[in-house]
C-alpha cells in the first residue's frame, strides 16, 4: 500500500450519535491523499458498525477495535501507533472538518516546523450551562488576542504567550491541530497521567520547542454537548482541573522536553511567576483535600487522589513541606 501523506485519526468511544457526520466531513475533503483511522476503545454502541459501513465503500477508511479499554489518552496514543502518514490530523467523533481543512492546514504546514493549528467554530447543543458558554467565549478571546487573524509564533513567542496565560490551553482541542509525526517521535506522545490537560500539555511541549503556525480561518467545528469527554471530566473537577494543572506546571518546571521553555522563562524574567503559580496550585490542592477530609462525614477521596498524583511527580516532599509552611504563615497572620 502507498503511504498516505496525512493520517486522519478518529478515536471513538460510544460516539454513534455524531460519528456519521464526522466521517462524512472527512470523506468530502478537497485534498485526497489521506488515510482515516477510526480507533474504537471498546464501545458498547453501534459506532463500530457505522464506521465499518463507511470503510466498506471507501478504502481510505480503516476501523480498529482495541482489545481492552485504553482510556482517553491511551486511545489517542494508539492512533499514533497505527498511523502511517507524515502528518497526523486528529478529528474527534463529535466534530466536523470544513471541506478545505486538510488542504489549507497542509499548505500552512509547509511553512512551519511541523505544528499547525486553526480556529474552530463552536457548536453548542441544548442543555449546556451558560457558565460553560462564557468560558468558551473567554477562551476564544485569549486565542484571538494571541493569534489575531492568524500568525506564526516562534518557539520563544509561544513560550512567552504561555507564560502570559498559564491557566489556558493556548492552541485549542486536538481536532484543530495537524502535526508532523516526527515531532511525536522526538518529544513523545500524549502524557497518560493527564485527564483534562493532556492536549494543552502536548501543545506546550511542541510549541515551546518548534513554535506553531495558526490558521485564522475556522476549518473545524467543535461540538459541545453533555455527553462529551470534556463534560464528563467536569464531574471529576478536582482530578481533571486542580491536579491536572499541577501536573502540567510540574512538567514545565521539571521535564527535559521543556529545557528551552525554562531557559526562555529565566531570560525573560518570568520564571518567578511560573514558580509562584506552581506553589499556589500545590497549596490549593492540599487545602481542598484537607477541607474535604475534615467534613462530616469525612471525604478522603481528594486526599487519596492528591497523594496518588503528587507522589509520582518530582518534588513531592518539597511540595508537602511548602504547604506546611504556607499553613503556618496563615495561622501566624491571623494572630496578628
Domain encompassing residue 214: 6-228
Pseudo-torsion of CA 319, 282, 274, 229, nearest 10°?
A: 130
The pLDDT mean for the chain works out to 93
What's the distance, CA 151 to chain centroid? 21
Are residues 145 and 291 both part of a single domain? no
Task: Note whether residue 280 is domain-resident.
Answer: yes
Task: Note whether residue 33 is domain-resident.
Answer: yes
Question: Which of the listed residues 228, 253, 284 is the one where a domain comes to its end?
Answer: 228
Are residues 55 and 163 both part of a single domain? yes
Residue 1 has pLDDT above 80, yes or no: no
pLDDT digit string, tens, across residues 45-94 = 999 999 999 999 999 999 999 999 999 999 999 999 999 999 999 999 99
Task: Note whether residue 130 is domain-resident.
Answer: yes
Determine contact, residues 219/286, Cβ cutoff 8 Å.
no
Are residues 267 and 205 both part of a single domain? no
Mean pLDDT over 315-333 rounds to 81
Q: CATH number for the domain including 22?
A: 3.90.550.10
Task: Note whether residue 303 is domain-resident.
Answer: yes
Residue 234 has pLDDT above 90, yes or no: no
Cell of 157: 513567542
Question: Which of the listed residues 172, 205, 228 is the one where a domain comes to its end?
Answer: 228
pLDDT digit string, tens, across residues 124-163 = 988 788 888 999 999 999 999 999 999 999 999 999 999 9
- Give the strand pairing for 212-224 and 115-124: parallel
Percent of the chain with pLDDT over 90: 84
What's the whole-model pTM score? 0.92
Task: Note whether residue 1 is domain-resident.
Answer: no
Determine which of 33-42, 124-133, 260-269, 315-324 has the lowest per-residue pLDDT on average: 315-324
- Give the strand pairing for 212-224 and 150-153: antiparallel
* Top-confidence residue, 316 or 148: 148
Question: What separation in angstroms does the CA of 271 have from each of 206, 245, 256, 262?
Answer: 19, 17, 16, 7
Are residues 259 and 285 both part of a single domain? yes
Residue 170 has pLDDT above 90, yes or no: yes
Are residues 215 and 244 both part of a single domain? no
Percent of the chain with pLDDT over 70: 96
pLDDT digit string, tens, across residues 292-311 = 999 999 999 999 999 999 88
pLDDT digit string, tens, across residues 9-48 = 999 999 999 999 999 999 999 999 999 999 999 999 999 9
Are residues 198 and 124 both part of a single domain? yes
Are residues 161 and 296 both part of a single domain? no
Mean pLDDT over 181-194 rounds to 97
| R_g over Cα of the chain | 21
Are residues 34 and 144 both part of a single domain? yes
pLDDT digit string, tens, across residues 200-210 = 999 999 999 99
Q: How many domains does the chain have?
A: 2
Length of the chain (residues): 336
Determine contact, residues 238/302, Cβ cutoff 8 Å.
yes
Are residues 172 and 34 both part of a single domain? yes
Question: Which of the listed residues 161, 196, 228 is the one where a domain comes to its end?
Answer: 228
Are residues 127 and 166 both part of a single domain? yes
Cell of 263: 531557559
Residue 336 has pLDDT above 70, yes or no: no
Are residues 20 and 71 both part of a single domain? yes
Q: What integer pLDDT is reported at residue 231 of this predicted model?
A: 52
Residues pairing with 213 in the sheet? 116, 152
Are residues 63 and 94 both part of a single domain? yes
Mean pLDDT over 268-295 rounds to 93
Amino acid at each position: 500500500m502507498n503511504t498516505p501523506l496525512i493520517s486522519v485519526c478518529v478515536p471513538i468511544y460510544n460516539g454513534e450519535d455524531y460519528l456519521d457526520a464526522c466521517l462524512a466531513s472527512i470523506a468530502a475533503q478537497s485534498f485526497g491523499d489521506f488515510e482515516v483511522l477510526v480507533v474504537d476503545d471498546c464501545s458498547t454502541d453501534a459506532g463500530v458498525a457505522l464506521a465499518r459501513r463507511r470503510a466498506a465503500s471507501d478504502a481510505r477508511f480503516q476501523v480498529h477495535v482495541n482489545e481492552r479499554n485504553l482510556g482517553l489518552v491511551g486511545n489517542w496514543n494508539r492512533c499514533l501507533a497505527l498511523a502511517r502518514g507524515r502528518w497526523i490530523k486528529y478529528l474527534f467523533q463529535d466534530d466536523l472538518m470544513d471541506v478545505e481543512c486538510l488542504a489549507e492546514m497542509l499548505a500552512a504546514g509547509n511553512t512551519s516546523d511541523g505544528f499547525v493549528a486553526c480556529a474552530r467554530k463552536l457548536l453548542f447543543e441544548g442543555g449546556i450551562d451558560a457558565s460553560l458558554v462564557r468560558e468558551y467565549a473567554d477562551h476564544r478571546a485569549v486565542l484571538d488576542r494571541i493569534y489575531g487573524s492568524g500568525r506564526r509564533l516562534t518557539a520563544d513567542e509561544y513560550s512567552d504567550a504561555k507564560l502570559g496565560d498559564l491557566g489556558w490551553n493556548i492552541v485549542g482541542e486536538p481536532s484543530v491541530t495537524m502535526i508532523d509525526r516526527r515531532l511525536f517521535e522526538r518529544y513523545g506522545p500524549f502524557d497518560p497521567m493527564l485527564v483534562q490537560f493532556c492536549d494543552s500539555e502536548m501543545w506546550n511541549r511542541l510549541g515551546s520547542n518548534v513554535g506553531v503556525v495558526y490558521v485564522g480561518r475556522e476549518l473545524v467545528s467543535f461540538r459541545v454537548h453533555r455527553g462529551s469527554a470534556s463534560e464528563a471530566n467536569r464531574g471529576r473537577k478536582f482530578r481533571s482541573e486542580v491536579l491536572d494543572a499541577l501536573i502540567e506546571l510540574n512538567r514545565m518546571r521539571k521535564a527535559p522536553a521543556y529545557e528551552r521553555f525554562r531557559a526562555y522563562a529565566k531570560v525573560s524574567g518570568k520564571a518567578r511567576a511560573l514558580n509562584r503559580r506552581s506553589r499556589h496550585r500545590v497549596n490549593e490542592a492540599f487545602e481542598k483535600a484537607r477541607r474535604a477530609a475534615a467534613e462530616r462525614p469525612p471525604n478522603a477521596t481528594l486526599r487519596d487522589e492528591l497523594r496518588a498524583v503528587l507522589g509520582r511527580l518530582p518534588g513531592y516532599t518539597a511540595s508537602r513541606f511548602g504547604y506546611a509552611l504556607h499553613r503556618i504563615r496563615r495561622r501566624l497572620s491571623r494572630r496578628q
